[in-house]
Amino acid sequence: MELPLPLYSGFFPQMVLTVEELMHYRRVGKERVFQLVRIIDDADCVYRWTDLKAHNGRCVQKAQFLNIQPVTKQLVSKEPSTILKCSIHIVDGQVEEILQAIAKVKTRDARRAMSYVHGDEVLDTQTLLTFPTSSDHKKPSYSYRAIKWSLLKAKQGEEHKMKNLDFCYLEYAGKSKVQDTASSVVGFCIQESIAADRQVPTLERYNILRGHLVRSGIVITKTHQSNILKVTAIAQIDGAMASIAVRLTMEKIMVDFVAAVHRVKGLLERQRMGRLQYLNEWDFVSTKDRKACAVCLRRFYFYRKYHCVTCGEVVCSNCAPLRELEEPLDKSTHCMRVCSVCMAQAGSRHDSNTVSRITRERGG
C-alpha cells in the first residue's frame, strides 16, 4: 500500500490537547532545552567522541553512554545510548536570522526548508498543532511550540531492506532568555517524540515504523569571537528503545541527518536573497567602464565580466557566483548573481531591522 506524499492536511485526525497536556509539553520542552544546553556545555569534558563520515563527506562526532536512573542508580538499559553531533560556524550571522531560516512552524515553509537541507532523506513533514500564545505578547515567527509529524527515508543496504521511519514530536524553538548568561547557548530548535498514537496513528500498514526522537535538534551558541556563531545539530538514539529495528535504522539515518547542518549556510543565503532588491538590466554599470572586478579589484584580462543584479556593478564569477533563490522568479530563473558585498549588507540590514522592530515593540 502506497502512502500519498506529500500528505494532505486532513490525513491525520484533528489534534486536540487538554490544558494538562499543553502544560506537560511546555514543561517537557523546557526540560529538553536545559538538557541539551548541558550536553553542549559539557561536550568536551564529559563525553568521549569518535569521528564518523557521513555520505556527504562531512565529519560527525559520536559518543556513547549508559542511561542510569537518577533515583535508583540502576541501569535503564543494557544497550548504551548514542549521541551524534555536527557543527558549523556562521560568520556575521544573527541569532534571529538563523532561527528564521531553520525554525518553520507552517507546513509549507517547513517542507521547503527540510527539502533544501535534507534533500530526499526527508520524504515529508507536517505541522499538526501549534500551541496557543498570549494575545498580549506577539512573538516572532521563529518562537513557537508545535506538534509535528515527519517521515524519514531509511538507508537501504545490500543485505537488509530497512523500513522508513516516521516521527510524531514536539518542536520547541526560540531564543534563550537574557538571564541565562551563564550558558553560551543563545538559540534553539529542539525535537522530542511524544506518545500520541491515538491521535496520530502509526503507519504500519504502509510499511513504516514509528521512530523515537530524544533530546534532538539544533542549538546555536556564542563563540569567543563576537561576529561568529556556532550552529550544532544533535541527535540522541535511546538505548532503551523497545524496537531493535527502529534503533538500528536510526543509527544509520541520523548520521546523515545531523551532517546536513552544513546546508544551513545555503539556507541562510537563500533567505537573504529573498530580501534583496534587483535592478533592471538597463541600470547596470557598463562593462566598458570597468577594467577590474568591483569587489576584489582583480583585472579581467581574459576573464569574463558579470553583473551583480543588486548593485549593478561589474564583477568576476568568484565574487558573484550564481546563488539559489528561495522562490524562483519565473519558470526559468532559479539562480541569480549577487556579489559578496551585497550579501554581507543583506545580513547587516536584517540585524538593523530586527533592532528597530524590537525598539518599536518596546515603545522606544
* Domain assignments of the chain as residue spans, ordered by start: 19-271, 274-361
pLDDT-derived band at 363 (thresholds 50, 70, 90) equals very low
Give 205: exposed, middle or buried? Use CB within 10 Å, 0-12, 13-18, 19+: exposed
Global pTM reads 0.87
For residue 357, the model assigns a pLDDT of 46
Closest by Cα among 27, 12, 26 to 198: 12
pLDDT tens per residue across span 114-168: 999 999 999 999 999 999 987 667 889 999 999 999 999 998 765 567 889 999 9
Contact by Cβ (8 Å): 67, 82: no
pLDDT tens per residue across span 155-168: 876 556 788 999 99
Phi/psi at 115 (nearest 5 deg)? -65, -40
Closest by Cα among 47, 92, 38, 53 to 65: 47
2 vs 309 pLDDT, higher one:
309
pLDDT tens per residue across span 9-51: 999 999 999 999 999 999 999 999 999 988 888 888 889 999 9
Mean pLDDT of the chain: 89
Q: Is the pLDDT of residue 197 over 70?
A: yes
Cα–Cα distances (Å) from 326 to 3, 41, 115, 269, 275, in that order, read 28, 34, 12, 9, 10
- Fold equal for 19-271 and 274-361: no
Give the residue-averaged pLDDT of 68-75: 72
Percent of the chain with pLDDT over 90: 68
Superfamily for domain range 19-271: START domain (3.30.530.20)
Q: Is the pLDDT of residue 296 over 50?
A: yes
Q: Would you tell me which CATH number, out of the four given (3.30.2350.10, 3.30.70.100, 3.30.40.10, 3.40.980.10), belongs to the domain 274-361?
A: 3.30.40.10
